[in-house]
Structure 1
Amino acid sequence: QNASRTKKAMFDRLVDYADRNDGDDRAVVITDVFPDGRQRLISGGISCETNCFSWETSAAEMNMVAAQSRRCQDPVYHFILSWRENELPTDAQIFECAEHCIRQLGMEGHQYVTAIHQDTDNTHCHVAVNRVNPITYKAAALWNDADTLQKSCRVLERKYGFIQDNGSWQWGVNDQLVRAPFRYGSAPQGTVPLQVYSNTESLYHYAVREVREKISELIESREITWRQIHLALHERGLGLREQGEGLVIYDFLRPEGPVVKASSVHPTLTKFRLEAHIGPFEGPPTFEHEEWSYGISSTYQPSFELRDKDVRFDRRQARAEARLDLKMRYKRYREGWEKPDLHVKDRYQQVAARYQAMKADVKRSQHDPLLRKLLYRVAEFDRMKAMAELRIELRDERQALAEKGLLRPLAYRPWVEQQALRGDVAAVSQLRGFVYREKRKERTPNGGFDRLIQCGQADDSAVYHLRSYTSHLHRDGTVEYLRDGRAGVIDRGDFVHVKPGFNDDDELDNYRLAANLVSTKSGDAVRIIGDDQFVDQVLDAGCGVNHR
């Protein structure tokens, strides 16, 4: 193997490049030393930082630690942070940015060297980190590292006042990091002031919120038709019609009201683009069928005030922090997990020692060579039998550990399921988040849409443990409360489904349980869906909860 491609040469070359080392006569001046072992220095006119014992021995130290991991073939992790031409960050800011990125990558405490270069138009720094942990000698997993660095850069740009760069993450309107979406055009003139000053939602913003994603899904399916477009809009109380030479979206219940240009809601909703693929424009079908797909599930309400976005943001922020804490707990679980020790070697040695002692006793007590040889054979046969029994015993023990999930560390989702069974609200929320992320559409049993208490989206609550009910937690976060083997109440997060009982007492208990479940949610939105008797029973149970 070429020496220049060994692990040792990787660190040597990178450190030499970082401080522009042309020889061994460069001057190294230490400028700062920190209590945690970090030191900042100037090497050959280059500002550097490392947490190794010294800059001169940093490459050798990282080589020695990397050599302890046989599986890690590429121990060097190198990345560059760069700033714009008109930005002049201080050395301290650059080093703090590098440390923040290392922490976010999960390599806090790993050996690293950072060097600042200002020999180009853009100030930049090189960061070389040893993936092998100096304590555990395990290599850090760097899956999705580029995305992690993108998110870290957005945080650092805001912290130090740098210009936000383009990337996979961006700051949302509520000061929350969100995925950078496909960039649609800006809102039509006048729609934003309408929302700000009147505190009511504009038709444009309602259409964007309700149908833009649905239209994108239809386009991606490559099976889009004019009828499907009309049905998607009609489901949200909107309509599409020709006006002039283009298309406009209007309120289906108030067709004479304001309209919005269709291409502003989705850039593909133009006659020029659609007619080339699906033919000339077709008007809406007749919505007189009893089929459910022709129904209107929501409508534009121009007189309703906007929801309290601050409260909604606080709930979302709290949910995000709880899930982040859940991930950190899982990470600590993985780091602290130890494989169960079955003492295999000691048990084999004990069996071997027992029969060695037996042979020694035969040798000492038996003087007849033929009888002694026969007893040796008997002892050897018993030893082989004991070894076979021990192998079977160890196999059964491993199988039992595997069935309990103790033989290997649990994956994230099974671990979350265990935490949810223990009553962890964040874990239950994460299970439902898996479902939302995969865009599964939850439907009520038998396709019915009655006997429901609808709550806010992703409105999570912990699992109730009651004597009269048995709770059954599903992998998607749905919790069924069973009584005598039959589901009485089903909590799906955003709605609670109340099932009929065997008798009046069972049904009243179901109502009380449902009311208690809803009382633990945020209360941001509560809507009772069902006949008059069902609504009265739920309200009566809710009054009982309030009185208590």
Structure 2
Amino acid sequence: MAIREILATQERNKRAKGDKTYHLIVSFPEGEVPTREQLADIEDTLCAGIGYAEHQRISAAHTNTKHFHIHIAINRVHPRTLRCVEPFYDHKELFKLCRALEQKHGLQLHPMDGPALPGRPGDLEAHAGEASFLRWVKETAGVELVERAGKAASWGELHAALERHGLAIRPKGAGLVIVQESTGLAVKESSVDRSLSAQALTKRLGAYEPPPRAQTQGRSNGDSSQWGAAGDAARPGRGGYQRAPLHRHADSEVLYQQYQAQRETLVKARAAQRAALRQAQAEHAKELAAWYAARRAEIKRSPVLSAAERRHAYAMLAHQRRADAAARRQELARQRQEAAQQGLPTWQDFLMAEAGRGNEVAVAVLRSRSRRQRRMAETLLTAADADAARHIVYERLQPKAGKDGALVYRVEDGGVVSDEAAQVRVTAVTAGAAFLALSLADDRFRGQALVVEGTQAFRRQVAQLAAMKGLEVRFADPELERERARMAERMTHAEGSTTVAAFISRRNSMRDTVPSVDYTRLWAGSDAGPAVYHGRRRLQDGAEVVLLQRGGETLVKPVTPAQAAKASTWRVGQTVELDSRGRFLTPSRGRKR
């Protein structure tokens, strides 16, 4: 009904030929979900701020991505005046409104605040993880240029200041740009600082004047008096712009060198592939021309063809040649497209791929740039001194690495765990996800009391798992720590059973009060194969058993003293393999440090 009413209003405006619907998306940081009242106020404020307070609109909230967001479809045609309203420069007003709304409702601040650059340079840095030319100009020469522009009495003085950094000012379009002529890179002067805009400089220094001829000739002729024997790189601190990682980490330089070597190898391979394609195209064209020349010669020498038949044969041969050429062009286009699809990885892509392969140094470098704030009202585990956490990768579980260094694990029972810089967060809560998060937190925050946030059911489940799996953890919350101790004592009573059968029976009897306890049974020869090690227990009669988990069941396997000694070297979560006779084969490592 609402859509039909909007369409009817738009139909009454006959002058506007473009899109009559304005689409606004309001996205929130990962994990933040405002209340319905907050969303209503945010929608009303934003729409009114860009001139659409009285316009018809439809909004919908979506949770299909990591970021909760709302879509607002606004009818640009006013319901009474029927004018089609265009909100020019709306992004500036929307940004100011978003800042005010964040402060009003206590929401997280926009993640682009701070050192990030606006526009395309900022997009490049976010995508590639490398410092842009604009950042280099601002950090290397920005302060001096602003100071010199304010004091310079002529364009020559400003050119001299730029010359010291290997830069120059050139007119472009209706404005000016700062150019590094050795590379051809350029940025608008106003993007470095507003005092360097074309309008401000021409107002202060007069019409633009090119740099002196001596400087231009020295640069073009490689004059050593201007540039030194080795060019820009020869001047201390004036090496010119070069790509560099944004990640401020001690190990980033070593990894970046590996990335550059890998990229250079790929560049050479792609160049060789293109050269091979060009060579193959030239050879094929040469062979095709020779083949058709031979066919034309045969037609010409044929004693049986009449003049009309010879003309028809020539025409058919020409038609076939055009068809072959078109087919060859299509094949070459397909090959070039396949080669183009094998794009070069960015520095960010390289780090994510290395982190996904278990490179803990790459994980640390990725996390060094993370500016994510602490999430609230979520299911997560952390510690008081989270900055001292180790970087752990469970390579066997094949996590996916994000640009901020977060490792996302997907558990077989549908659970999802995100291992982030300062916390381990459970985005889809299941028993498997809770146990994985607890194991990660135990490894990363070893020796510290764990802080568990989330629902009461999740907190209790974590305490029960810590006791059941025999993990040597403690919790910062006294009540949660008492819950873990009570459960551990109950598990100790179960281990005090005189026989394996009594131990199994006692564990199964606990399932009525502790739903997270899996069904327990004795291991049999038919259970041969891989299983997940969940600890070992000593019974009252001195016998020892190991607990194995597979298919939602806990298997109890009696072991010999030698097997128990071998199991003492394993860690909970490792995959072990047994043959049909109950012998343990070499376990695969489930964790990597």
**Same fold per TM (> 0.5)?**
no
TM-score by length of structure 2 reads 0.34
TM-score by length of 1: 0.37
